[in-house]
């Protein structure tokens, strides 16, 4: 079960792929300090916030992702969007707090739009209850389980500067960092 980053789809339409590449070029990548910074609470609920949410939803959709946190879009805000069912509306959570998580945990494979090519096993609580605000600043509570709970926890981690590398096993982290460095070198060589 891939997380955030959709699995590779070889039969994918070239136009869709090109749009995905363009979106990923707008998403902050591993090594960018904003991904390691604790994001600031949102305190203005205005048109600018709605525009930001819309832009993030578009980026996530074009990148064929299931979740995106504002720091990945270059904004240090406690804001995330997600959509775990392809046909449902994009959900936005502003200033989310995980107020309860189950003792029951499970391991699952996760990827990240900021860590291209990396897929690692991460253990997370199966159920969570999240308190947040919507785009208008009204309080809302989300109870999520399984994949949806995993996506929300992954995105909330981004708001605290935490990446899946920090949550996997030591061996998988080593392997992932090596593959990221190789990609970096290949990119630098091509530039």
Residue 115, Cα to own-chain centre: how many angstroms?
10
| Structural tokens at position 165 | 């590398």
Least separation in angstroms between residue 39's CB and Zn ion is 13
Q: Using the rule CB under 5 A, is 80 a contact of Zn ion?
A: no
Identity of the residue, 45 or 179, whose beta carbon is nearer to Zn ion in the bound complex: 179
Least separation in angstroms between residue 65's CB and Zn ion is 8
155 is catalytic: yes
Instruction: Kindly indicate which of the ranges 24-32, 44-52, 74-82, 112-120 contains the residues binding Zn ion, using the contact rule CB under 5 A.
Output: 112-120
Strand 91-101 to 139-145 pairing: unpaired
Question: Which residues contact residue 30 at a Cβ distance below 8 angstroms, ignoring those fewer than 6 apart?
Answer: 114, 115, 163, 180
Least separation in angstroms between residue 51's CB and Zn ion is 22
Mutual angle of helices 47-62 and 14-25, in 10-degree steps: 130
Selected binder of Zn ion within 27, 112, 122, 180 (CB under 5 A): 112
Residues that bind Zn ion (CB under 5 A): 4, 112
């Amino acid at each position: 079960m891939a997380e955030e980053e959709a699995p590779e789809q070889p039969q994918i339409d070239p136009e869709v792929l090109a749009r995905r590449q363009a979106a990923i070029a707008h998403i902050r990548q591993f090594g960018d300090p904003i991904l390691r910074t604790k994001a600031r609470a949102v305190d203005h609920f205005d048109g600018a916030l709605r525009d930001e949410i819309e832009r993030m939803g578009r980026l996530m959709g074009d990148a064929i992702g299931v979740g995106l946190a504002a720091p990945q879009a270059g904004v240090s805000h406690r804001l995330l969007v997600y959509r775990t069912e392809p046909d449902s509306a994009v959900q936005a959570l502003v200033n989310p707090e995980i107020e309860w998580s189950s003792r029951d945990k499970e391991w699952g494979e996760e990827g990240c739009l900021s860590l291209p090519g990396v897929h690692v096993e991460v253990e997370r609580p199966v159920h969570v209850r999240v308190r947040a605000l919507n785009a208008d600043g009204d309080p809302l509570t989300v109870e999520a389980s399984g994949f949806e709970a995993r996506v929300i926890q992954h995105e909330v981690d981004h708001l605290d500067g935490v990446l899946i590398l920090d949550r996997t096993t030591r061996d998988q982290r080593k392997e992932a960092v090596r593959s990221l460095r190789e990609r970096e070198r290949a990119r630098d060589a091509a530039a």
